[in-house]
């Protein structure tokens, strides 16, 4: 992990406020568990209503957590007046998402003025063991001065 210096000393508060406005996170029970400059963790307890046909957590849920962790890892390094949007993400699902909980760790790889490239690893915790179950590469965009886009 690289050492990043945030542009905004209140980055943690900004990330938390924005995350709390994501109703989707509340709906699926995702929790923002750690915020550092360029690094964000999001966790989720297994819930039966988020599964696919084999009883695993849905690939879309795994993608949602990883995308959000990437977005806030990027956002934590952006200017105080910037908003963040996902340009694209790519995820490889390595193992079925089974276990008691998931942890998505998003990290900035290359922050830029307009675009920030991020990666995320998603781990499943099962009977005390953590297993890497998915890995993402994503491009995030900083939006400034556009109406309706804050946070």
Tokens of 148: 């309706």
Quick check: 31 binds its own copies (CB under 8 A)?
no
Phi, psi of 61 (to 5 degrees): -70, -45
Give the largest Cα separation in the chain, rounded.
47
In the block, residue with structure tokens 């959000």:
68
Quick check: 61 binds its own copies (CB under 8 A)?
yes
Pick from 32, 41, 64, 122: which binds its own copies (CB under 8 A)?
64
Quick check: 45 binds its own copies (CB under 8 A)?
no
Quick check: 83 binds its own copies (CB under 8 A)?
yes
Separation between Cα atoms, residue 143 and residue 115, nearest integer Å: 10
Pick from 119, 122, 123, 124: which binds its own copies (CB under 8 A)?
119
- Sign, CA dihedral 45-48-50-55, equals positive
> Closest distance between its own copies and the C-beta of residue 19, in Å?
8
> Closest distance between its own copies and the C-beta of residue 109, in Å?
6
Contact between residue 15 and residue 40 where contact means Cβ atoms under 8 Å apart:
yes
Quick check: 122 binds its own copies (CB under 8 A)?
no
Quick check: 139 binds its own copies (CB under 8 A)?
yes
Which residues, in sequence order, are CB contacts of 47 under 8 Å at separation 6+? Answer: 28, 29
**What is the binding site for its own copies (CB under 8 A)?**
18-19, 21-24, 26-28, 48-55, 58-61, 63-65, 67-68, 71, 83, 85-96, 109-110, 114-115, 117, 119, 132, 135, 137, 139, 141, 148-151
């Amino acid at each position: 992990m690289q050492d990043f210096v945030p542009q905004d000393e209140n980055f943690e508060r900004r990330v938390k406020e924005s995350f709390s406005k994501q109703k989707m996170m509340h709906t699926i029970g995702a929790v923002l568990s750690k915020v550092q400059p360029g690094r964000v963790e999001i966790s989720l307890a297994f819930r039966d209503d988020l599964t696919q046909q084999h009883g695993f957590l849905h690939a879309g849920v795994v993608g949602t957590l990883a995308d959000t962790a990437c977005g806030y890892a990027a956002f934590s390094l952006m200017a105080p007046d910037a908003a963040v949007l996902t340009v694209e993400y790519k995820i490889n699902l390595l193992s079925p998402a089974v276990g008691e909980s998931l942890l998505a760790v998003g990290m900035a790889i290359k922050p830029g003025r307009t675009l920030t490239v991020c990666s995320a690893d998603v781990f499943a915790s099962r009977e005390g063991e953590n297993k890497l179950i998915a890995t993402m590469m994503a491009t995030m965009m900083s939006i400034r001065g556009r109406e309706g886009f804050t946070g």
